Amino acid sequence: MEGGLISGPSLYFPAPEIAEEAAQHGFDFVWLDWQHGAWTESSLNAALASFVHVDTVPLVRTLGPDAAWIGRMLDLGALGVIIPMVDTAEQCEAIVRAAKFPPRGNRSATGLRTAYHAGHSYFDYTENANDEILTIVMVETPRGVSNVRQMMGVPDIDCVLIGPYDLSRSLGVPMGAPPAEELVQEVLKASKESGVAAGYVTNSSAEAEMRAAQGFRMVCPGHDITTLTEAFTCMKQCSDRLKGFL
């Protein structure tokens, strides 16, 4: 992430057409949410094809840390993975190894569309992918926060992303309540000390701007499930007003 800030939406609906549209708008990334969305391997494969010839980085939040899931999404064309519910440096090391080719990792050297991303050949991709694939782990429990400095110390972890809803629920408090916010700020402090990026799963442009101002370097200005709800609410209000012309 080279010291900058990245932002982009997450997509829950398993619609390659929505991903194709999102890919045209110049976001830093678009995050396809396999964990909580309704995506299948087939729909993810179709969606990831939309990112081959654009600069926007396609990320996939996997179902978990399984090496087979990580390798499969990268083979289908993801240029980064987001791994939920990570608590330890040992888990981080295993995740990195699954995402990297030897000698750093143990990812198998194959893939459906890896050569297209490289722009030249399959071998260009395999030679350079270790430096280009984003490896993002999510901290969503007090245990993860307590280990965050060790996690940030694992080479090739690019970002520690806070899942605020699960973090709050694990404490038994509302999202944003002081006990949860204290842990959020602890992750941010560790990020500033280590130089490893911290991210925060935001739900609106206003919240994204607030967290970016605090120093978080990965934020989401919106999600398709909320944006579409707002769009349909607006259309319904218009529909109701139109009946007044009768």
pLDDT at 203: 87
Tens-place pLDDT, residues 140-195: 999 999 999 999 999 999 999 999 999 999 999 998 899 999 999 999 999 999 99
CA angle (169 as vertex; 233, 87 as ends), nearest 5: 120
* Backbone phi, psi, residue 2, to 5°: 55, 35
pLDDT at 101: 95
First to last CA, the chain: 56
Tens-place pLDDT, residues 106-138: 999 877 777 676 666 778 888 889 999 999 999
Tens-place pLDDT, residues 51-100: 998 999 999 999 999 999 999 999 999 999 999 999 999 999 999 999 99
- The answer to whether residues 37 and 58 touch, using CB atoms and an 8 Å cutoff, is no
Radius of gyration of the chain, Cα coordinates, nearest whole angstrom: 19
Give the confidence band of 246 by pLDDT, cuts at 50, 70, 90. Answer: confident
Q: Using DSSP, state whether 36 is helix, strand or coil.
A: coil
Domains of the chain: 6-245 (3.20.20.60)
